[in-house]
Amino acid sequence: MSGGADVTLETQSQATTRERTFATLLGVFVICLMCWPLAQGLLVQKYGLNPWKGFAIAMYCTRHAVTVEVLAATPKGLIAVPSEDLKTREIFGLYQKYNEQRQTLGLLAGPPPAELATAIMKRYPGLKDVLFRIRNYRLDPASGRMAIDMKCVYHFRMSGGQAVLFDQDERAELLGNNSD
Amino acid sequence: MNVFQAILQRTALATDEAELGPPLLRVLWRVLLSTNLILLTESLLDVRLANPTVPIDAFASEFFRIGLFAAILAGSFWSRGLPVFAGAACLLSLSELCRLVPSGPNHGYLGYLSTCISSLGILLSRNRPLNKEDSTTGSGDACWSAIYAVRWLVVYVMLWSGLNKLLYATYFQGEFFASMVHKDPRFAKFFTWIVPAAELQQIVDAENGPHRFRSLLPILGANVVYLSEIVAGLLLLFRRTALAGVLLTFAILVGIEVAAVELVFGGLMVNLLLIYFPRWYVHRGYWLSVAINGLLLGYLQGRLFDLLPDLGIH
């Protein structure tokens, strides 16, 4: 017995139901797998997922960056919280974890956790509002520059000793619009 | 044969002799089990490098998982225990796959998925002796199905690597490579071979872009990258052209290693490509996989215990 055709013939004549089912399931798996990058591409566009992640084989296809800024609302206006202040033991773990989730999952990571906003507000007594400004950047082929693809602002307000999400603004699919 | 089985068998070759299925799958399975040791060591090393102050004994669960895969690899040489070890390998690989979601590296998914599929192939072929002498050999059917599926993973990687570059449209004027030249000195060093010095310096210095080449050679090179990946993926799907597809894929992997030094990915892909030569791989070729995985595992373990210097391998 030699040749691929022989293998196929044997499959027809001797294979058990279990083996035929296995082959069928693997065939279904192959079809699903081959379609997955298309689905992931749509998720990248709509929700800002990291294209390099999730086994859609889009590594080295584009560049992706996310910035998470923390802004304190003061009588003088919005002031960026210095990154050193975010490196306290209480805040840093929460900030880092959310940052990583956001880098990978984009909008699917949801708003920052209320505990993070609460910890930041407790760090600055008297602060009533804190905002998280998140920007997703992607390599824009039209301009050859890293351009904003998505931007979101989450506004937390102190209420009864606990920060609650007061307002949010999420704008996606901005690549090529020069929008900031 | 239904349509799904026909699609699965798209990756069958003229050289796929039925009796080679079980030994080929067992060799591949053992190679993949050793690849899992590499993947786990690599992820442990990444965590360790990110947290250099944490003592190594804090990573007990990671070492335990490495130990489990090592035990399965050792047990895979005991014929009677094959179903048990195949089942355990399948479950463990599935759990590692779940751990990778959502931010794990793509070669991790490739390695654990391949292990899952080959473990299932071993498990399902256990009661189908090919001859009376060896009751553990199994029939070729489930084994070949698993091997075809693993070959599909190679097609998937090559085809979608190219198609994604086309869809993201960042290779037509070398935008992606130019931006990487600006960001990563490894790429800048690689492109000194094909980009004029003045143009390269301009790209490195341009903080806000535009990131794109002007010279013909790097633009041509960038376009050849995705075209060759798509062509390699398509060639692998036809019996008459599969060998050319394998050779082209090898060439592309060499290019990836020179530019990006992704050795764990490269080693895994080479191991998966070698199953396109079933007779040679079963008899002698597997030693190449043993050498590749041995070197990679040795290096990563050496790095983990601070015995070897950083060679910039990913």
Picking from B34, B66, B28, B54, the residue whose alpha carbon sits closest to that of residue B276 is B28
CB-nearest to B170 from A11, A61, A105 is: A61
Question: What local confidence, expressed as pLDDT, does residue A11 receive?
Answer: 46
**Of residues B119, B121, B159, B115, the one with CA closest to residue B10:** B159
Better pLDDT: A88 or A44: A44
Mutate to test the interface with B, among A1, A2, A6, A11 (most CBs of B within 10 A): A11
pLDDT at B310: 82
CB contact under 8 A, A53 and B141: no
Pairing mode of beta strands A145-159, A77-80? unpaired
Query: What's the pLDDT score for residue B135?
Result: 42
Of the given ranges (A8-12, B97-101, B117-121), which has the lowest mean pLDDT?
A: A8-12
The answer to whether residue B312 scores a pLDDT higher than 80 is no
Type and span of the H or E element at B111 = helix B106-124
Interface test with A, best of B10, B170, B228 (most A CBs within 10 A): B170
Share of chain B above pLDDT 90, in %: 73
Confidence band, pLDDT 50/70/90 cuts, at residue B110: very high
Instruction: Using an 8 Å CB-CB cutoff, list chain B residues near A144.
Output: 173, 175, 178-179, 209-212
Distance of CA A116 to the CA centre of its chain: 18
A158 vs chain B: nearest CA distance in angstroms? 32
Question: Searching chain A, which residue's CA lies closest to the CA of residue B152?
Answer: A30
Q: Which chain B residues are Cβ-neighbours of A63 within 8 angstroms?
A: 176, 179-180, 183
What percent of chain B has pLDDT above 70?
95
**Which of A80-89, B39-48, B202-211 ranks highest by mean pLDDT?**
B39-48
pLDDT value at B131 more than 60: no
Cβ within 8 Å, pair A19-B128: yes
Which of A34, A64, A139 has the most B C-beta neighbours within 10 Å, making it the best mutation to test the interface with B?
A139
Closest among B101, B65, B24, B40 to B276, alpha carbons compared: B24
Q: Which residues of A touch B163 (CB under 8 A)?
A: 37
Q: Is the pLDDT of residue B70 over 80?
A: yes
According to DSSP, residue A16 is labeled: -
Distance from CA of B314 to the nearest CA of A (A): 14
Considering chain B, what is the average pLDDT of its residues? Answer: 91
Mean pLDDT on A83-104: 85
- Of A13 and B116, the one with more pLDDT: B116
pLDDT tens column, A1-40: 334 444 554 444 466 888 899 999 999 999 999 999 999 9
Would you state the structure tokens that stand for residue B269, as one six-digit string? 């892909």
Average pLDDT on A82-99 reads 82
pLDDT more than 70, % of chain A:
89
B203-232: average pLDDT: 93
What band does A82 get if pLDDT is binned at 50, 70 and 90? Answer: confident
> Which value does ipTM take for this structure?
0.91
The CA distance from B38 to B114, in Å, is 14
Cis peptide leading into residue B218 (ω within 30°): no
pLDDT band at A46 (very low <50, low <70, confident <90, very high): very high
* pLDDT at residue A7 in the model: 53
pLDDT for res B137: 42
Q: Are the beta carbons of B156 and A100 separated by less than 8 Å? A: no
- Count of C-beta atoms within a 10 Å radius of residue B81: 14
From B100's Cα to the closest Cα of chain A, the distance in A is 9
User: A27, B209: Cβ pair inside 8 Å?
Assistant: no
- The mean pLDDT value of chain A amounts to 86
Q: Is the pLDDT of residue B256 over 50?
A: yes
Name the band, by pLDDT with cuts 50, 70 and 90, for residue B233: very high
Tokens of B120: 């299932």
Residues in chain B within 8 Å Cβ distance of A55: 106, 109-110
Q: Are B314 and B262 in contact (CB under 8 A)?
A: yes
**Amino acid symbol at B66:** I
Max Cα–Cα distance, chain A, nearest Å: 85
Indicate whether B138 pLDDT > 50. no
Looking at the predicted structure, is the pLDDT value of residue A180 above 70? no
Return the pLDDT at A113: 93
3-class state of residue A123 by DSSP? helix
Q: How far is B167 from chain A (nearest CA, A)?
A: 9
Measured in angstroms, the CA of B175 and the nearest CA of chain A are apart by: 6
For the whole model, what pTM was predicted?
0.90
Question: In this model, does residue A173 exceed pLDDT 90?
Answer: no
Residue of higher predicted confidence among B204 and A175: B204
Cα separation, A19 vs A39, in Å, equals 30
Residue showing tokens 């463990």: B92
